[in-house]
């Protein structure tokens, strides 16, 4: 019984370390000040959209919970038509739904790499100039937290398995045709000797550059709540089911 409790505590610590990094966890005082602040008069439309506060949730809401009988809204996402740099699926259209699909593909490829080199390689290829870097991206922080909590090196381990499923999403808003702030709520399954599951959300500025969506310049947006997909809390927070068409 004691060993089971210890094992569960270790697993909970592992996955909660990841969620803390990926949602850019801030102190209570800093978050409260951020949400209370009004947009500056000279703030761009893109910055105002990105920094607008999102709903909050208790960290425990990210753990598996009862699925709601209520139907969530649906976001129909396009499918990839090709493979881009760093083996990230691409070819999504110049639409908000296309930007959401591209963000999901970026995050899935990065996190399922299971290594620091993997996430750094992805963000190097998929961030615009002035956007997140291999040192600053929340995905890099998340991978570092996961590997550290698991007692692994930056190279990962054959014993580490990460499966990332984009299950719900939302479009926070757009500015013109070439800029959107979108969020994806993922179901993370992490296995290191034992398996644990948790929801992890990611919001990013997405910019259309050349012929594809990339993570755009500027600070990463206000975090969305990481809530177990399909629960009452997820639906109340505005998450919608993702459906590929």
Return d(Cα 96, Cα 207) in angstroms, integer.
Answer: 10
Mean pLDDT across 27-56: 69
Average pLDDT, the chain: 85
Highest mean pLDDT among 16-20, 193-197, 237-241: 237-241
pTM for the full model?
Answer: 0.86
Q: What string of H, E and C letters represents the secondary structure of 165-204?
A: EEEEEEEEEECCCCEEEEEEEEEEEEEECEEEEEEEEEEE
The percent of residues in the chain predicted with pLDDT above 90, rounded, is: 65
Length of the chain: 245
pLDDT, position 35: 45
Average pLDDT over residues 145-161: 87
Q: How far apart are alpha carbons 5 and 52 in whole angstroms?
A: 39
- pLDDT (0 to 100) of residue 167: 97
pLDDT band at residue 148 using 50, 70 and 90 as cut-offs: confident
């Amino acid at each position: 019984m004691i060993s089971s409790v210890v094992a569960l505590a270790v697993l909970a610590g592992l996955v909660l370390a990841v969620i803390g990094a990926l949602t850019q966890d801030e102190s209570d005082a800093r978050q409260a000040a951020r949400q209370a602040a009004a947009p500056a008069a000279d703030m761009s439309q893109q910055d105002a959209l990105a920094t607008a506060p999102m709903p909050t949730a208790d960290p425990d809401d990210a753990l598996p919970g009862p699925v709601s009988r209520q139907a969530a809204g649906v976001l129909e996402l396009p499918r990839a038509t090709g493979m881009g740099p760093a083996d990230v699926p691409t070819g999504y259209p110049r639409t908000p739904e296309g930007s959401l699909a591209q963000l999901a593909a970026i995050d899935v490829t990065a996190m399922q790499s299971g290594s620091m080199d993997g996430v750094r390689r992805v963000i190097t290829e998929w961030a615009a100039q002035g956007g997140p870097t291999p040192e600053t991206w929340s995905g890099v922080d998340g991978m570092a937290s996961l590997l550290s909590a698991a007692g692994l090196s930056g190279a990962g381990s054959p014993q580490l398995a990460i499966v990332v499923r984009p299950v719900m999403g939302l479009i926070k808003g757009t500015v013109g045709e070439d800029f959107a702030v979108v969020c994806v709520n993922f179901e993370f399954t992490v296995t290191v000797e034992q398996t644990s599951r948790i929801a992890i959300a990611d919001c990013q500025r997405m910019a259309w550059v050349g012929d594809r969506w990339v993570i755009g310049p500027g600070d990463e947006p206000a975090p969305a709540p990481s809530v177990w997909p399909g629960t009452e809390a997820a639906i109340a927070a505005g998450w919608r089911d993702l459906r590929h068409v």
